[in-house]
A = this chain, B = another copy of it.
Amino acid sequence: MTQNIYDDPDFHAAYMRLPRSVSGLEGAPEWPSLRTMLPRLDGARVLDVGCGLGWFSRWARENGAASVLGLDISKRMLDGARAATDDTAITYARADLEDVALPEGAFDLAYSSLALHYIAGLDGLLAALARALVPGGMLVASVEHPVFTAPATPGWLTDAAGAPAWGLNGYLDEGRREVDWLGTRVVKQHRTVAGWLAALRRAGFNLARLEEWAPSLAQLEKHPEWVNHRQIPNFLLFAATRA
């Protein structure tokens, strides 16, 4: 079973103060990039995998989706998502993404924001998503980038020229990592870029787009405190089509 940090009261309280919790999609700096990977949503049946507070679920409905099913393991997050809408075409359901039962060929788009890197049984989930999509349906997702998840002791070091450099090691060794985030010990799963792409292929997805996201130079001007994050890819964004 996936670790359910979002129902830990302290973690949840800290998470609720993040810009992406307060402001939703507009508070997530990778959203403008991820958004360009989405297909047209008019009439689409959408699956929101790890929906959290439901920001994307509501946005999808506002942008033409016929219906949305949002799945999350956290009761607190689902309570927040449900409280934020009275749209009857959005359904929220509690689910462990390691072991989720979905109707076959029932969705046109599966979307997942920063959730899949928590999933140890990725092959099972991707296979379930492929079955749940119609042929030609799309999976659009963001995950923490492998150079970010790789190190057992992540952190910024200083290179021989005195510049900040991310300490990269452990890259080839895929699997479980434990890191401190918002005062909580968080379990995540490291995979290489090639590992992510191979998992998509095994599940019957064809890669359509790949982006290694970092703040743009325009975003850096507004947020000079993100300067280190411009030095490495922060997130891996991808769009893939179910064969």
Contacts and interface: CB of A to CB of B under 8 A. Distances in A.
Interface of A: 147, 151-153, 155, 157-161, 163-172, 192-194, 197-198, 207, 210-212, 214, 230-233
Given A211-B194, A233-B192, A159 B163 contact: no
B147 A153 contact: no
User: Which among A164, A165, A207 has the greatest number of chain B C-beta atoms within 10 A?
Assistant: A165
A191 to B, nearest CB: 11
A73 B168 CA distance: 34
A166 B164 CA distance: 12
B160 A169 contact: no
B153 A160 contact: yes
Contact of A166 (B161, B168, B172, B214): B168
A169 B231 contact: yes
A172 B210 contact: no
Contacts of A232: 168-169, 171-172
Contacts of A193: 193, 210, 212
Contacts of A231: 168-172
Contacts of A172: 212, 214, 230-233
